[in-house]
Structure 1
Amino acid sequence: MVGDTLDLHPTPMDKRGLGVTTKPVFAAQFRVAICHVGSPLGSSCCHSCMQAWKIVADGGGVSVRSPYPCLMPTPAPAAETSHVKGLAIGLFGVLTLSPDALLIRLLSVSGWTLVFWRGLLMSATLMFAVALTNRGAFVQTVRGIGRIGILAAVLQAAGSICFVMSILNTQVANTLIILGALPMFVAIFSSIFLQERASLHTWLAIPVSALGIVITMHKGFALGQWTGDLLALCTAILGSIHLILLRYARGRNLTPSAALGGLFGASVAFVMAPTVLIPAVDFPYLAVMGCVVIPVAFSCFVTAPRFIPAPEMSLVVLLEMVLGPNWVWLGLGERPADAAFCSVAGLYCVPC
């Protein structure tokens, strides 16, 4: 059944004098305030009124019948609450992910070794969480992701590999600024495949984002960091398609898909890595990254698009452009270039 905003006053009458609506609504959202004689709900009069309610399935919607048209239900507002919930989940995910670039730079292992442990620990943590929250239905929950979930996992694995390799081959600020292209790609793909209209702020951010990418990549080519910059651009494209898929499959629990993505990435890295052994000094950083930062962030990222449009979610992700480079600056003294500051400032001035 599909939920929809509904205004049932005045209520049409059928041949038997019953108030009728067949518009699709959520039965759980029905609420009645006053009975046909003005008595508050719960009185003896209303008891007889409520006995007359009949709610039956009617095709794709719900048919509600009552001999008292004034008792026809009105839906409880839920869209605004869901929107705020989606924003809160997305924001929490970005805040959790913000130290990720710093943790990557603090590790001394090779890129492929890092991808292996990052994906393996993330996958194990998320699978444990899915098993804990879906007792008795673990297999059904994992199988419920379907082909869309598997494709999303492949895109996530590829994006994670590109992100890690980009961080290791260019300045952190460069990577995160180029990821600012995410809203541009999401807005385009979303309008084509989901018919979701991006906000004016999103479309205004697109040329600013493109200009920031051109400036950043031009400087990267001059410094010989073009490999990392191109990998960052690939991350943005893969991430945007991933967000579109998550929004498309918003009716499913795709947390197992995120776990599967970590496992796919770890499998590729196991073949490519010169070794999977890590120094003892690196283990605390890997544990925080793989068991806390990445699992929490990605579980938020697969949940938030169920409540907010993909273009809006991509704008929330842009917050990492501000937080990520500053964590690295504070932790390692890697100051972002002036062009990076200008690009970030331009993007965040657009919504204002």
Structure 2
Amino acid sequence: MWQGMSWRLRGYLITGLGVLLLSPDALFVKDTEVDVATFMFWRALLLGTVLSLVAVARYGRDLPAAVRACGPAALWCPLAFAAGAWTFVIANRLTAAGNVLVIQNLAPLIAGLIGLLIYGQRLRRQTWVIILLCVAGASLMAAGEMGKGNPLGLIVALGLPLALAINTSVASAQKGVDTTVILPLGCVVILLPALLLGGATLPPTADLQRLALLSLVFLPGAYFCIQTGPRYLAGAEVSLMMLLETLVGTLLVWWWIGEAPTPLAFVGGALIIASLLGGGLLDLIRQRRKAAAGAPVPQTVLVDDGRVEKGGTEASKRRR
């Protein structure tokens, strides 16, 4: 079944799973009482340990070569990953989650522009329309919280969509290379400032349990899937799937803390779901029409050519 799926559908499923695992992140940030430096220290230490073990288990002695194969992503992705983590946590501590989510929703647009202007990745008109609809839906969901909290949080939050867009765009431009191996480097970049700010202190038991649950269970799977997404999708499409976090995160806060979404939130959530499902349905119909017309399956062409593992040729063709 997996082998019969289109490249784009694989990317959507992998990234979507990652976003679902990432969705409790804002809830955990709000639900802990430790300072930001301590939160980031334990988050990076625990998450980095798990991701490092996974990378070593997968590549063994070939791990240094796998990191070198990432090219420029080995520098830019860890920096962007760390910047996104710091800005997300700080912004959520300073201002309302709605403010952060509205600004985060700019990531697909920024990623689309980066891909177009720097890497020459052309998105289909359908993708641009879906991005705009989902941004509108996510903005409606967060509109009820706009204006709450410290205005400084808005300034900090501006770095979040830029960091997300750089990470997904640079990873996508590596043409199918596995960039999950450089995630531990991102954790090191997170860890160093936390150490300098005195974050290496033991938090209360309740907060440590929350941090362990988040960093050992949810985040490793989330970031592994999200970082794998650019092997199959353009950076803007990965950032587009990240908007699901707005919907799922809002529902989780409603369930756990009891903050009921506004009527606009339900309208926005419906718009996001309808846009993503509609886009996926159109892709499925298009693929079946091509198959009925006798067009070769991209995966078959890649297998015959011996390039299926790299995925670069298919990815580059798909984005032209």
TM-score, normalising length from structure 2? 0.76
* Separation in structure 2 between the aligned mates of residue 250 and residue 125 of structure 1, nearest angstrom: 26
Give the equivalent residue in structure 1 for 2:255: 330
Q: Give the secondary-structure state (helix, strand or coil) at the position aligned to 1:196.
A: coil
Shift of 1:164: 0.8
Equivalent position to 1:128, from 29, 53, 67: 53
Equivalent position to 1:194, from 90, 104, 119: 119
Distance 1:144 1:206, change over 3 A: closer
Asked whether the equivalents of residues 84 and 164 of structure 2 are also in contact (C-alpha less than 8 Å), the reply is: yes
Q: Which amino acid aligns with 1:172?
A: A
Give the equivalent residue in structure 2 for 1:151: 76
Q: Which amino acid aligns with 1:104?
A: V
Asked whether the equivalents of residues 107 and 164 of structure 2 are also in contact (C-alpha less than 8 Å), the reply is: yes
Q: Which amino acid aligns with 1:121?
A: L
Equivalent position to 1:267, from 171, 184, 192: 192
Give the equivalent residue in structure 1 for 2:89: 164
Q: Which amino acid aligns with 1:326?
A: L
Equivalent position to 1:106, from 27, 31, 45: 31
Q: Which amino acid aligns with 2:246?
A: M
Give the equivalent residue in structure 1 for 2:21: 96
* Separation in structure 2 between the aligned mates of residue 227 and residue 93 of structure 1, nearest angstrom: 29
* Separation in structure 2 between the aligned mates of residue 173 and residue 224 of structure 1, nearest angstrom: 10
* 4+ residue segments displaced more than 6 Å: none
* Aligned length, in residue pairs: 274
Give the equivalent residue in structure 2 for 1:83: 8
Equivalent position to 2:202, from 274, 277, 287: 277
Shift of 1:168: 1.5
The structure whose residues are more often strand, as a share, is: 1
* Separation in structure 1 between the aligned mates of residue 144 and residue 258 of structure 2, nearest angstrom: 23
Asked whether the equivalents of residues 178 and 212 of structure 1 are also in contact (C-alpha less than 8 Å), the reply is: no
Shift of 1:219: 6.2
Alignment of 1:200-349 (within 5 A): 200-205=125-130, 209=135, 220-221=146-147, 223-273=148-198, 276-337=201-262, 340-341=265-266, 343-349=268-274
Shift of 1:256: 2.4
Structure 1, residues 269-294: CA drift from partner, whole Å, max 9, x if none?
11124652211122221112111211
Asked whether the equivalents of residues 138 and 247 of structure 2 are also in contact (C-alpha less than 8 Å), the reply is: no
* Separation in structure 1 between the aligned mates of residue 158 and residue 264 of structure 2, nearest angstrom: 17
Q: Which amino acid aligns with 1:128?
A: L
Q: Give the secondary-structure state (helix, strand or coil) at the position aligned to 2:121.
A: coil
Shift of 1:337: 4.8
Shift of 1:117: 1.1
Higher alpha-carbon deviation: 201-210 or 282-291: 201-210
Equivalent position to 1:140, from 61, 65, 68: 65
Asked whether the equivalents of residues 173 and 340 of structure 1 are also in contact (C-alpha less than 8 Å), the reply is: no
Q: Give the secondary-structure state (helix, strand or coil) at the position aligned to 1:194.
A: coil
Asked whether the equivalents of residues 140 and 264 of structure 2 are also in contact (C-alpha less than 8 Å), the reply is: no
Q: Which has the higher contact order (CA 8 A, sep 6+)?
A: 2
Q: Give the secondary-structure state (helix, strand or coil) at the position aligned to 2:50.
A: helix
Asked whether the equivalents of residues 181 and 206 of structure 1 are also in contact (C-alpha less than 8 Å), the reply is: no
Identity among equivalent pairs (%): 27
Shift of 1:224: 4.3
* Separation in structure 1 between the aligned mates of residue 154 and residue 267 of structure 2, nearest angstrom: 17
Asked whether the equivalents of residues 177 and 343 of structure 1 are also in contact (C-alpha less than 8 Å), the reply is: no
Shift of 1:235: 0.5
* Separation in structure 1 between the aligned mates of residue 217 and residue 8 of structure 2, nearest angstrom: 25
Shift of 1:105: 1.8
* Separation in structure 2 between the aligned mates of residue 329 and residue 133 of structure 1, nearest angstrom: 38
Distance 1:334 1:243, change over 3 A: same
* Separation in structure 1 between the aligned mates of residue 95 and residue 82 of structure 2, nearest angstrom: 20
